Structure 1
Amino acid sequence: MPFSRVPRRVLLIQPTGSNCIHSNPTHTAKKATTVNQEQFDKVRNDDGFIAALDQSGGSTPKALKIYGVDESAYSGDDEMFDKVHEMRTRIMTSPAFTGERIMGAILFEDTMDREVAGHDTADYLWNVKGVVPFLKVDKGLADEENDAQVMKPIPGLDDLLTRAVAKNVFGTKMRSVIKMANEAGVEAVVAQQYEIGHQIIAAGLVPIIEPEVDIHSAQKAEAEVMLRESLLRHTNALAADQFIMLKLTLPEEANFYAELVAHPQVLKVVALSGGYSREDANARLSENNGMVASFSRALSEGLSAQQSDDEFNAMIDSSIQSIFDASRT
């Protein structure tokens, strides 16, 4: 049943000078900007998880192949993105995909710029499904340095954020990777995430900060200790009207990020599946109170282009329910 949504905006931030750490002087002395109040309240207070539908060009062929669409089915990037949009549309338009169990969905830029069932994608998610829209804004990972990969530069970010606000997107997501317990690498990742996060907040959006810890790291637990310390330091420096979200690898120790889950400036801490199977990811998630899922591979596991609509909808309904249940701990 369609939702009736009237956009309402809530004051978010007014960064000035020293409070905004981005080096570009155009990001100082920003006027106050706003986010949608109803979406803000849903993210902060409601049950549900975030569906990650943001595969970019590099990961799209693999996602399509897992879905049963071989590279021979398309030619060139345009046809490839048409195929992945068909897959994402099938997921979003499924009767099982609603705001009752899904809090939000992360979109790739190409998906944001397209339509679903005659609506701009973000408007379809919120106005029809009651799902809060987010946008992937990073351009991939730089080469490894100090056992970590920061993000590549993001040219045109201001323009992209302006378009996202105009299309009624609520927040953004950007990913870095930590490979080992190297303090220099961990701090480089976190400092960059928060620097760009300030720019995103100033544009009127809520950033999802994603410093992924590689699940295959031989020093995963040690890296998580360093990461938690850095995240707390940067988050404690936020002003009372600055809000973020965190997307973190499921930790080795249950409730390891509890202090961040309870932090007043953190709307939500969400978990990435990071290569774990859905069963393993759900089991780990259920041990971490207050964390909710933001799964991509674990959500689409078992879905196939060759399935009938009934088979597809039954599979995604089961997947959504299992992830939702694990997110309610």
Structure 2
Amino acid sequence: MTLESFRDELAATACTIAAQGKGLLAADESNGTIGKRFAAIGVDNSEEHRRAYRSLLASTPDLDDAISGVILFEETLFQDSVDAGGQPGPPIVELFQSQGIVPGIKVDQGVEPLAGGLPGESWCTGLKGLQERAARYYARGARFAKWRAVLKISPEGCPSELCVRENAWGLARYARTVQEEGLVPIVEPEILMDGDHDIETTAAVQEWVLRTVYEALSHNGVFLEGSLLKPSMTLPGKDCASAPSPDQVAQFSLRTLERTVPVSVPAILFLSGGLSEEEASVYLNGINRAISPAPWHLGFSYGRALQQSCLKHWAGHDVHGGQQALLARARANGQAAQGFYVSGSEPSDGTPLYEANYSY
């Protein structure tokens, strides 16, 4: 098979994910990372508990009202579900599909230190064997993929030219490779919130990064109409003395995207990147209120900002409570993706979610 043979399907899948008022549930935490989440609620990190929790997500009624797709970890893509009573059920992927939620898969294999880069810089691994893995994931039902590159801003000069170019090229090679096997690539160049830099600095770096990414995608012949972008919102460093207003976040985020992202890309799905559940909804709402109509669907691809309250209410046993908490944050973000979310109108546990040098 070739990209050409999948072109129409890739475009259709991307448009399905880019549905109005919807976004992605990022449930692709590695076993180590989900273990940290479970430890916070007193649940052992066992295969049984991971299966039960991901089954909770997949069986949440009416989740498709605000969720168009779900990013899965490889273990979950091949797991069968269990019901609230612990009885075996159909494959987890089929539960999502039964609601019209498109399954996707995290395909990168994590970051490693970048040889020749500045201290703390990384590159993303996983290209070896990717074509074969992508074909296997497609056969299992996945229809899109995700690859996360990580960049940071620091007084020492990060990100370096080498780091930006290496991560842009890795994203482009990944994107072209999975398109050859029928998977829509989500391109994710995340700029971490670590640091005390101002929002203008973030905007300048993010413009550079995104321009370089789309140059690399072009060189690799990536079909943009069958791709999606998952960027950070344009935010100051977490330790910046002045916190931005939702209007400022909207102004800088939109300016950055308008200067760098082709309109042929169907959707821009923001990552939450350590924002609290409520902050992620409020900022997304501000972005959508500031531009109408936008040249792209401006949605969300949230992990912690959709699941924090869900995990807390589930606590290893309360499936209904966990599902209701998940639905509340899904509704909030579905409304924010249309610019009419009212802050505080949906419950949230309010826990800060920022982690320095976040990995998963």
Kindly indicate whether the alpha-carbon contact (under 8 Å) linking 2:59 and 2:96 is maintained by their aligned counterparts in 1: no
The number of aligned residues is 292
| Structure 1 residue 60 displacement after superposition | 1.9
5 Å-filtered alignment, 1:49-198, equals: 49-66=23-40, 68-70=41-43, 73=44, 80-97=46-63, 99-116=64-81, 118-126=89-97, 128-144=98-114, 145-146=117-118, 148-180=121-153, 181-198=159-176
In structure 1, what is the Cα distance between the partners aligned to 2:230 and 2:26?
11
Deviation at 1:90, TM superposition (A): 0.9
| CA offsets 1:194-245 (integer angstroms, 9 cap, x no match) | 0121111111111111111001243533321211221332345546676211
Gaps of 5+ in 1: 1-10, 15-30, 75-79
Give the Cα–Cα distance (whole angstroms) in 2 for the partners of residues 95 and 242 of structure 1.
Answer: 31
Distance 2:69 2:152 in 1: 28
In the TM superposition, what is the alpha-carbon distance from 1:164 to its structure 2 partner? 1.0
For residues 24-39 of structure 1, the aligned pairs below 5 Å read 35=9, 39=13
Match of 1:272 in 2: 271
| Structure 1 letter corresponding to 2:333 | I
Distance 2:231 2:274 in 1: 13
- CA deviations on 1:159-189 (whole Å, 9 max, x unpaired) are 2111111112111001110012433211211
- State the distance in 1 between where 2:11 and 2:90 align: 22
Cα distance change on mapping 1:327 and 1:43 into 2, 3 Å? same
State whether residues 50 and 102 of structure 1, in contact with CA within 8 Å, keep that contact through their aligned partners in structure 2.
Answer: yes
Which consecutive residues of structure 2, in runs of 5 or more, have no partner in the other structure?
83-88, 154-158, 236-251, 289-296, 340-360
CA separation of 1:242 and 1:41: change in aligned 2, threshold 3 A: closer
Query: Are 1:320 and 2:320 matched, yes or no?
Result: no
Which residue number in structure 2 is paired with residue 248 of structure 1?
231
User: What's the counterpart of residue 13 of structure 1?
Assistant: 3
Alignment deviations for residues 244-295 of structure 1 (CA, whole Å, 9 cap, x no partner): 111111113131213566521x232111111111111122222334321111
Answer with 235-244 or 144-153: which moved more: 235-244
Counterpart CA distance in 2 for 1:277 and 1:241 is 31
Q: Quick one: which amino acid aligns to residue 101 of structure 1?
A: A
Q: Among residues 206, 220, 224, which one is paired with 2:202 in the alignment?
A: 220
Secondary structure at 2:334 match in 1: helix
Query: Quick check: 37-46 or 104-113, which moved more?
Result: 37-46
Instruction: Name the residue aligned to 1:22.
Output: none
Report matched runs for 1:227-246 at 5 Å.
227-237=209-219, 238=221, 243-246=226-229
What's the RMSD between the two structures over aligned residues?
2.6
Q: Distance in 2 between matches of 1:240 and 1:56?
A: 29
- State the identity %: 20
